[in-house]
Chain A
Amino acid sequence: MADDRDREGTEIAVAEFHKKIKDAFEVFDHESNNTVDVREIGTIIRSLGCCPSEGELHDLIAEVGEEEPTGYIRFEKFLPVMTEVLLERRYRPIPEDTLHRAFEVLDPAKRGFLSKEELIKYMTGEGEPFSQEEMEEMLSAAIDPESNSIHYKDYITMMVIDEN
């Protein structure tokens, strides 16, 4: 009995995931022909609440793409892969305090801020570096123009409120 209910529960969950994925996909499906530009897949996946790294994203794209890359991803291939991702709760988003600690690692003197140059250095020099556009965008919101630095605690608080 419990198994049946569980199965039904999963079926309903899957159906709801399918609808969510379809909604997110359709918003980027400009020509309404069940394909999206491969360059938008990252945005779509992230809009569904997942936070894959660039490397993980690359692997996902390989999974949902065609044998011969066409520059487009088809919904029929995307749906099952994405459903699995959601069911398995993969690529969970970064919690606020983890983010805060990451900033603190880059600020060993515990000043409470990073200078603009330091932020640029880390974001474009380490890890999975930002493109110039990404860097500029982050700077426009994060940098306090008077001190030319990012007060990361405030920044995080602001971004988190905004998301909710």
Chain B
Amino acid sequence: MGCGTSSSMKDKKSEKALKAALVIQNWYRGHSAQLKTRQRYALTIFQSIEYADEQGQLELSNFFSFMLENYTRVLEEDPELVTHLSDSNIQDKDRQDYWVLIDVPDSYCGPRLQFPLTFTDIDLLIEAFKQQQILHAYYVLEVLFETKKLLQQMPNFTHIKTSPSKEITICGDLHGKLDDLFLIYYKNGLPSVSNPYVFNGDFVDRGKNSMEILMILFVSFLVYPSDLHLNRGNHEDFMMNMRYGFTNEVLHKYKLHGKKILQVLEDIYTWLPIGTIIDNEILVIHGGISESTDLNLLHRIERNKLKSVLMPPIPIDGDHATEKGNKVGTTITARGIRTNGSLSEQLTKHEWEQVIDILWSDPRGKRGCYPNTGRGGGCYFGPDITSKILNKYQLKMLIRSHECKPEGYEICHDGKVITVFSASNYYEEGSNRGAYIRVSSGSPPRFFQYQVTRATCFRPLYQRMNAVESRAIRMLKERMISQKTDLIRVFQLQDSSKSGKLSVGQWAFSMENILGLNLPWRSLSSHLVTTDKDGNVDYMSSFQDIHIQKPVKEVQSTLIETVYRYRSDLQIIFNVIDSNHSGLISMEEFRSIWKLFKSHYRVCVDDSQLDELTERMDLNKDGSIDFNEFLKAFYVVHKFDKLSKSDTKVA
């Protein structure tokens, strides 16, 4: 009996323990799922905003065409500006001489490269960059000139063969994240004849070491030109660099020679090959394809004529008006602006679109081929398109990059399309893994993942998720504040009883419509607005702890909001107008540009105060505006904020 009781007590005990364990496990799995979902939501936010920005960038190209059409003063008085905008040749002949004259002082203790380069120079650079040294402009330019010469000899597509003993490694976007490149070279080995690499575009922008990445990649290329392959990405584009940070990085690191470096880079980008074809089976390109992708044509075109995605071919006569990306329509814009032989300086519209598709498209599950409305360029292509194009050219697989994936890579379209993305923690520490792929003929591709971490390495998952999420929400709030007036107008239209409240459904609908971002608004609402117990949203509550700093008190909010919203576009426009890179534009120019901008972007703002605003900010008091200073003055203040204001400045 004693045994019986104690064994039944034991049973009871273990039953209790079992139930308790179940409770904890159940709770934990729920908690874990919440974290994962929050990470996904944050990524969705980052991605939507990123693509909406890219769309804004492409809209600029329309604006430039529009400007050329209408800025008559410029046509007459500043032909230099116009040629700058209209894609004509920049004088090349004095470049080589310029570079040779640069002096490297004895006091320079950074890396000194020895030409012709060898693998020791790769090591040298890596060690130096690990210690945060900056390569002297002299060497930078030398590398750039040599790279350009070599790239000019490359075809549009490099054909590579692998063998069972010689795998090739394919890396995706790096976006200036130097630690990821270090990790790849460390984990996978330095490039060599037996360890070839393909880097599939987007080496620059967003991260803070784009220059260093380019130097390592170009030096690797110069040492192993047959085994280190570089494909052009949509960010290898001088106009994208203006918005997404690389231009700033160069000008900041190279105060004296930065402009020269940027000029040479402009050219080099155009000479980067469009793609690689491995074993006649695998097509490696940066973005994707469209239903009309013509690989034979792409092999033939003169790829160096595509300067920037923002500079589509301008129609020379009425017959070739572009529907895509040029609202100006059939009007002739040449009018003698273009210099001699202009027709031969640009691609045809069809050729241009072919390349844009390669650099900008994204695969999707839906069948067919649709304009890529998320980014504003290229298309969305479905599994049927993939099959069609792969079959047409007897290829088996498409490897591309261009999209950030949480696991660093993703397979879709029945295994025929692989996305590889190599910048870990792209949006924020903890946001995603990076990956690279090793392929060889006859074997399935092998995937390698990683995530670069620093001091925060050992932070538990939930803390990392908090950081990612906060950042995403912050960015979203800044978008909201930049369209505050429009949002409030739409909210109030639906709030007939003027209660200050809307249903979640009404609020979500308004947000989606005005901001143009396809996000799970209901799930995000708790971060963005206060909700009462009936589930109704107090729509003004979003704007309580955040506002745009007013550089001048008396100026209306709507004007401030508008300048803030378009600050990236304005910065690029000003940079392009400022053809002699002085950093200044005249009040006249500013006013004319603003007028055109308003008209093209259909901005309804009372700019009687614009003069007041600019005059107050004309710190030099000489009738010219330092536009970088001007734009920096518009930033968002988060009232309850631990992050510093410098995180929100113009890219």
Interface on A for B, CB 8 Å cutoff?
15-16, 19-20, 23-24, 26-35, 42-47, 50-51, 53-54, 93-94, 98-99, 101-103, 105-106, 122-123, 126-130, 134, 137-138, 140-141, 159, 162-163
Contacts and interface: CB of A to CB of B under 8 A. Distances in A.
Nearest to A30: B410
Contact of A51 (B26, B41, B410, B535): B26
Contact of B17 (A15, A98, A126, A129): A126
Interface stretch (B221-229, B335-343, B458-466): B458-466
27 contacts: A15-B505, A16-B535, A19-B505, A19-B522, A20-B523, A27-B40, A29-B365, A33-B366, A34-B365, A43-B33, A53-B22, A54-B29, A93-B27, A94-B23, A99-B23, A102-B23, A102-B24, A102-B27, A103-B24, A105-B16, A106-B21, A126-B18, A127-B24, A128-B25, A129-B25, A137-B461, A163-B31
A47 B22 contact: no
Given A19-B522, A106-B20, A122-B21, A141 B504 contact: no
Given A99-B24, A106-B17, A126-B17, A20 B364 contact: no
B593 interface: no
B448 interface: no
B26 A94 contact: yes
A27 B365 contact: no
Contacts of A50: 30
Nearest to B403: A30
Interface in B105-149: none
Q: SS class of chain A's interface: helix, strand, loop or mixed?
A: helix
A107 to B, nearest CB: 10
Contacts of A162: 462, 466
A159 B29 contact: no
Contacts of B19: 102, 105, 127
Given A46-B33, A46-B34, A102-B24, A27 B41 contact: yes
Given A16-B505, A43-B37, A141-B461, A94 B364 contact: no
B630 to A, nearest CB: 39
Among A26, A30, A159: residue with most chain B CB under 10 A: A30
A141 B32 CA distance: 11
Contacts of A46: 29-30, 33-34, 37
B277 to A, nearest CB: 25
B415 interface: no
A47 B34 contact: yes
Nearest to A93: B30
B522 A20 contact: yes
Contacts of A27: 37, 40-41, 44, 520
Nearest to B459: A140
Nearest to B462: A162
B460 A123 contact: no
B462 A24 contact: no
A51 to B, nearest CB: 4
A85 B508 CA distance: 23
A53 to B, nearest CB: 5
A23 B366 contact: no
A51 B41 CA distance: 20
Interface string B37-49: 1001100100000
A47 B37 contact: yes
A6 B28 CA distance: 36
A15 B535 CA distance: 14
Contacts of B410: 30
Contacts of B523: 20, 23-24, 47
Contacts of B24: 99, 102-103, 106, 122-123, 127
A1 B25 CA distance: 46
B36 interface: yes
A50 B30 CA distance: 8
B99 interface: no
A123 B32 CA distance: 15
B541 to A, nearest CB: 17
A138 B461 CA distance: 9
Contacts of A159: 31, 462
Given A102-B24, A105-B20, A140-B460, A31 B508 contact: no
B32 A137 contact: yes
B21 A140 contact: no
B30 A51 contact: yes
Contacts of A129: 25
Given A140-B458, A140-B461, 5 more contacts: A45-B33, A102-B19, A122-B21, A134-B29, A163-B34
B51 interface: no
B504 to A, nearest CB: 7
B366 A32 contact: yes
B521 interface: yes
A26 B365 CA distance: 13
Nearest to B30: A51
Contact of B25 (A45, A103, A130): A130
Interface in B367-382: none
B412 interface: yes
A16 B509 CA distance: 12
Nearest to A129: B25
Interface in B505-536: 505, 508, 520-523, 535
